[in-house]
């Protein structure tokens, strides 16, 4: 059921919000005239790619593939798309609310646009670019990463028409999952769902704030006007999220079946951390330290980084501030940052396979494995965090990490990350790559509508299931798709109806992009964004 703000109860709200929206609209028009072309052209400040002498060509080709998957998932008018079997789709999304929600990404093998994981995808992509954009640039992949990021942030900006209204979903999952069709051929109604002050959604608003704040840093040097628009939306969304602390799974219970949230505390800290990096406003640092670290921070305990839980990533991101230091941070907040870093170190020690505190959440071959559904998400997420932490140590000349008295070096964390990506690329008992298109053996029957239906097929909602049931491999190869992954016993069943193992997701791909970007070459990360 679609939730809307009633007209009678909100005339005053719309009147006050109209002035704000008109102001943003005028600025947005200026952006169209002055800056949109910068993403489609070569980026002037990266016109001379840096020379890295230690490039790993295997990871370069994997990164190229992983970034292509975002083109597979695009909604809207897909100009300059690199995927021959994809065309325009979702062009009318949002029209019933007088919004243009045509852009954005389909999250997985279906045709729904879920705002929560989409915003997470943007945040991770931004983080990857901010830390390893120089690596991407050296191998000529930065433009593709930034174009995919902007495809999402354009959507997220349009999905936030008023300060306390955010559209969080396009499409009805129940209707969508009863169809099997190409996105280009959709004819079903595409209802939209919003959160607002009457039906809040703290975690989805906060994650969107994190996405736009981090992206504002990415675009700051090449399109300041656009960057400032993203930052303004991020700050308003954070205020909205923090003012109305209610889980979106409670306010909009129908979303709980697909992306049910386990809590919003981590998203508030995650968003506050990114806003601190984007603004250097000490009030955001105070928010994530003195004000909320004990209630929200999960300090001293280990969690697994995913679209649902950002505690571990927040701890690593705030460790960055502690590693590199910052001016005018009070001693008490530096001590708080040290607590975040100590918690991040607990996770690093859990990940190292021969650590005294090594986690048992790994397969016999060493793959981090937490849950059966989309199991590789936690593997690549853990490896991404370990590469970041390793590089923070390396850049800050921190030589040692101690795990219950045993000493480790930054290279040990990097070796762990390499072990995870090597598993993904074929060093596993199945002797197959879980990245579609890499190597000679990879999944051929992935759970993905567009991939499984021939371009010239004339099918509607229900009769398209003949392609779902087809014994033939997918006719369109979804190059770069990272499938869900193996079971704990390290087996994988390549069947189209095996969505638990065979459905790719944009957010797992974003994590893989971050991981591969860090491993493409070795070099110091920037001291600040």
With b meaning 16 or more CB within 10 Å and e meaning fewer, what string describes 264-295? bbbbbbbbbbbbbbbbeeeebbbbbbeebbee
CA–CA gap between residue 363 and residue 445 (Å, rounded): 24
CA distances from 85 to 174, 470, 485, 505, 522 (A): 26, 19, 25, 19, 36
The DSSP code for 490 is S
State the sign of the Cα–Cα–Cα–Cα dihedral 53, 135, 278, 40. Answer: positive
**Is 63 in contact with 139 (CB distance < 8 Å)?**
yes
The DSSP code for 373 is T
Q: Could you give the angle at which helices 202-219 and 115-138 cross, rounded to 10 degrees?
A: 20
CA–CA gap between residue 198 and residue 176 (Å, rounded): 27
Burial environment of residue 462 by CB neighbours within 10 A (0 to 12, 13 to 18, 19 or more): exposed
Long-range residue pairs from 220-228, CB within 8 A, at least 24 positions apart, any chain: 221/45, 222/38, 222/43, 222/44, 222/45, 223/31, 223/35, 223/38, 223/39, 225/27, 225/30, 225/31, 225/34, 225/35, 226/31, 226/35, 226/36, 228/27
Question: Which member of 46, 135, 447, 448 is catalytic?
Answer: 447
Q: Is 447 designated active site?
A: yes
What's the token pair of residue 96? Answer: 């019933």
Just list the catalytic residues.
447
């Amino acid at each position: 059921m679609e939730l809307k703000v009633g007209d009678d109860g909100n005339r005053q709200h719309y009147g006050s919000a109209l002035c704000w929206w008109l102001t943003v609209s005028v600025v947005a028009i200026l952006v169209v005239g002055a800056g949109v072309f910068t993403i489609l052209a070569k980026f002037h400040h990266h016109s001379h790619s840096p020379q890295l002498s230690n490039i790993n060509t295997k990871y370069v080709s994997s990164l190229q593939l992983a970034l292509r998957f975002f083109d597979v998932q695009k909604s809207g008018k897909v100009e300059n798309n690199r995927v021959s079997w994809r065309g325009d789709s979702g062009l009318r999304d949002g029209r019933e609310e007088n919004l243009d929600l045509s852009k954005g990404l389909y999250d997985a093998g279906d045709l729904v646009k879920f705002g929560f994981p989409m915003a997470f995808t943007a945040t991770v992509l931004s983080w990857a670019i901010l830390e390893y954009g120089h690596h991407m640039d050296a191998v000529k992949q930065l433009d593709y990463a930034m174009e995919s990021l902007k495809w999402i942030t354009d959507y997220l900006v349009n999905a936030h028409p008023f300060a306390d209204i955010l559209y969080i979903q396009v499409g009805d999952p129940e209707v969508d999952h009863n169809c099997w069709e190409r996105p280009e051929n959709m004819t079903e109604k595409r209802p939209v769902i919003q959160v607002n002050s009457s039906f809040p959604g703290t975690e989805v608003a906060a994650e969107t704030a994190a996405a736009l704040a981090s992206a504002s840093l990415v675009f700051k040097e090449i399109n300041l006007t656009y960057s400032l628009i993203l930052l303004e939306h991020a700050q308003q969304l954070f205020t909205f999220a923090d003012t109305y602390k209610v889980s979106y799974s409670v306010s909009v219970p129908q979303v709980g079946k697909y992306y049910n949230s386990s809590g919003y505390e981590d998203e508030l800290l995650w968003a506050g951390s990114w806003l601190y990096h984007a603004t250097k406003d000490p009030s955001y640092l105070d928010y994530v330290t003195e004000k909320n670290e004990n209630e929200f921070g999960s300090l001293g305990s280990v969690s697994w980084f995913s679209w649902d839980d950002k505690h571990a990533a927040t701890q690593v991101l705030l460790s960055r501030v502690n590693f590199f230091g910052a001016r005018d941070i009070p001693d008490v907040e530096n001590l708080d940052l040290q607590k975040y870093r100590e918690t991040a170190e607990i996770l690093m020690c859990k990940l190292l396979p021969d650590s005294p505190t090594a986690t048992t959440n790994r397969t016999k071959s060493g793959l981090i494995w937490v849950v059966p559904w989309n199991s590789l998400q936690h593997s690549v997420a853990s490896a991404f965090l370990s590469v970041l932490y390793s590089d923070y140590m390396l850049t800050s000349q921190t030589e040692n990490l101690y795990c219950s008295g045993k000493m480790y070096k930054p290279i040990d964390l990097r070796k762990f990350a390499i072990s995870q990506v090597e598993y993904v690329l074929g060093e596993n008992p199945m002797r197959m790559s879980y990245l579609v298109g890499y190597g000679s053996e990879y999944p051929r029957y992935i759970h993905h509508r567009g991939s499984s239906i021939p371009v010239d097929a004339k099918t509607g909602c229900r009769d398209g299931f003949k392609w779902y049931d087809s014994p033939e491999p997918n006719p369109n190869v979804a190059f770069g798709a990272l499938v869900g992954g193996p079971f704990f016993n390290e087996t994988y069943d390549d069947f189209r109806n095996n969505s638990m193992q065979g459905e790719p997701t944009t957010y797992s791909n974003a994590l893989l992009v971050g991981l591969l970007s860090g491993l493409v070459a070795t070099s110091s990360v920037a001291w600040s964004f």
